[in-house]
Amino acid sequence: METQQVEQKQVDRYSIGDVVEGSVIAVDQSVVYIDLSPIGTGIIYGREFAVVKDILRKIKPNDTISAQVIDPSTPDGYIDLSLKEARKAFVWNEAKEAMENKTVQEVTIKSANYGGLVIEWNGIRGFLPASQLTEKHYPKVLNGNKEGILNELKKLVGEKLRVTIENTEPENDVLIFSEYRDEQSEKQSEESGSKVSYNVGDIKNGVVSGVVDFGVFVTVDNTIEGLVHISEMDWGLVDDPRRFYSIGNQVQVKIIAVEDGKYSFSFKELYKNPWEDILDHHKVGDTVSGVVIKYEQFGAFASIKAGVSGLIHISNFTDDDDLRNSLEIGKTYEFVITNLEPKDQKLTLVPKDRYDEKKSLEGKKGSGGAQPSSQSPQGTTDEVPTQ
């Protein structure tokens, strides 16, 4: 449970729905008491206890847990709590520990989609990409036909597979799994003659077999599947892989890693890094045209050429509204380069009108002219933060 989710009340009473955190005082057969000083004592009992008894078995006195207020004042003077939020936090902690320890566990396949298998683990939705299946279960379909792949994956629905947790994404309420590869299954793959060896650096033709938030899965030679992570899709920024690729697209990939039978591919490694020769064409102080491509909490990004984008920091504007009113996504503006570090792929831009205005104000100040009024637009600092 993130700290900001916990209500830090400086009052004498909680409200229904508040998420609170406290130390366990005692655990009885069907009741848990929680210290919520200075407000009072929380209690989890009855139906709320029964729903999460699997979690409560692991709780000990002095443990800190989070819970949700369902009655701020019972007739007995307690604060009635629900452990729904706490259970979620416990499960995510267990998932993190299982991932770090590479714990092997058995799960039942609930359903299948074009990208892989859907499972459920302790009430959390999980996804097992087809690329993370062993040779025994991997869908080998001629020409990477997406309907054929889906039909093969559906055959695993209801089956139990041994898996490990590869990634936890509590913000998206999903776990990413990989099928466990033991020595016996690897030996069987080798004996069947279906295992193909590929080398890092090889360039292969393939078919997009899955598109997810974090990248694209590509099937190569109708035999293996690997992930093109979103960071390997292009030298520039990629927000949503679905905007660029669909299942069935014919693509070319470069193998950049092979580990424990898992393949990592890249699209961008097929092309020259546009940052390598950027100093031959641009330098700090140059005025360039750029297309605004993305808003971020700390500013916006603009692309000045394919694969090269720069940060326009929020400090160049009065506030976020000013930034969004001044720079529209998809439109082209003139910027001045204030920082350029090709090695780290860092580029900082300032809108030319704001840059010129700041320089004009600095000139007046230096010559003893009128000082900028409080109504003057906010300029950038002398040292503009980079990405």
Express each pLDDT in 7-44 by its tens digit. 444 456 888 878 788 999 998 888 999 999 889 999 99
Q: What span, in angstroms and rounded, lies between the C-alpha atoms of 335 and 97?
A: 47
Phi, psi of 161 (to 5 degrees): -125, 150
Residues in the chain: 387
Class in CATH terms, 100-191: mainly beta
Mean pLDDT by runs of 10 across the 387 residues of the chain is: 42 78 88 91 87 77 86 90 71 86 91 89 86 78 70 91 88 84 54 61 87 86 85 82 85 89 88 85 92 88 86 92 91 94 90 88 66 43 41
Q: Decide if 351 contacts 316 (C-beta within 8 A).
A: yes
DSSP tag of 187: H
Domain with CATH 2.40.50.140 in the chain: 3-87, 100-191, 200-270, 274-387
3-state SS assignment for residue 362:
helix
pTM, 2 dp: 0.41
User: Token pair of 36, please?
Assistant: 């919520």
CATH topology of domain 3-87: OB fold (Dihydrolipoamide Acetyltransferase, E2P) (2.40.50)
Cα 183 from chain centre:
32
CATH topology of domain 200-270: OB fold (Dihydrolipoamide Acetyltransferase, E2P) (2.40.50)
H or E stretch covering 252: strand 250-259
Which pLDDT value is given to residue 23?
A: 92
Provide CATH code, domain 274-387: 2.40.50.140
Which pLDDT value is given to residue 144?
A: 56
Which pLDDT value is given to residue 8?
A: 43
